[in-house]
């Protein structure tokens, strides 16, 4: 049965059009997981930032996150009574679109850890966790290693004994 052109839907018209230059039009893309018949689901950047930060910290070999300035600010914040504790968003930058996200991570690695393999592990874990929890497609996870933690860096050197009493 042929339907009149005016009563066909736009999908039916696109499916019957034979334009070899645009195969993507004939093969519709998979449905967006964040758009449903009931409405649209949006995920805030702060949510993706916290999930990515937590997922990065789960990987063995990551000592801390953030650049030296943000780590110093975080250390001060942690010492204030009543503060909320460490920020999971520290060292994480995100860009979130309607259905995709891009993530940038600044990390400090522990001495002796293979940086290339650690970076790949972080990328895998962050990508899988963010995609599973949010439904967003993660297009890239960039890992910047800003420092190496050496054992003994956290220990304060005791002051030299006074020569006078």
| Dist. CA 129–CA 77, nearest whole Å | 28
Residue 85's pLDDT is what? 58
Residue 80 makes CB contacts below 8 A (sequence gap 6+) with none
Residue 20's pLDDT is what? 44
152: DSSP letter:
T
Print pLDDT tens along the chain (165 aa). Answer: 555 555 544 444 444 444 444 444 433 344 567 888 899 899 999 999 999 999 999 999 999 998 666 555 555 555 666 666 567 788 999 999 999 999 999 999 999 999 999 999 999 999 999 999 999 999 999 999 999 999 876 655 555 566 676
Q: Which helix (H) or strand (E) holds 57?
A: helix 45-57
Cα diameter, the chain: 106
| Tokens (6 digits) for 43 | 């995920």
C-alpha 105, offset from chain centre: 7
DSSP 7-48: GS-HHHHHHH---TT-HHHHSPPPPPTTEETTEE----HHHH
Residue 89's pLDDT is what? 81
Residue 132's pLDDT is what? 97
């Amino acid at each position: 049965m042929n339907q009149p052109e005016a009563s066909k839907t736009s999908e039916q018209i696109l499916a019957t059009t034979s334009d070899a230059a645009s195969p993507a039009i004939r093969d519709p893309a998979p449905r967006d997981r964040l758009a449903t018949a009931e409405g649209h689901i949006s995920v805030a950047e702060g949510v993706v930032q916290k999930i990515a930060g937590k997922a990065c910290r789960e990987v063995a070999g990551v000592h801390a996150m953030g650049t030296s300035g943000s780590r110093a600010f975080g250390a001060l914040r942690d010492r204030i009574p009543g503060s909320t504790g460490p920020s999971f968003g520290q060292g994480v930058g995100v860009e979130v679109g309607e259905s995709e996200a891009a993530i940038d991570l600044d990390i400090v690695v522990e001495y002796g850890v293979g940086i290339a393999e650690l970076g790949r592990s972080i990328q895998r874990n962050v990508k899988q966790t963010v995609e599973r929890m949010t439904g967003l497609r993660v297009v890239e996870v960039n890992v910047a290693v800003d420092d190496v933690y050496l054992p003994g860096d956290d220990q304060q050197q005791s002051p030299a004994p006074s020569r006078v009493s």
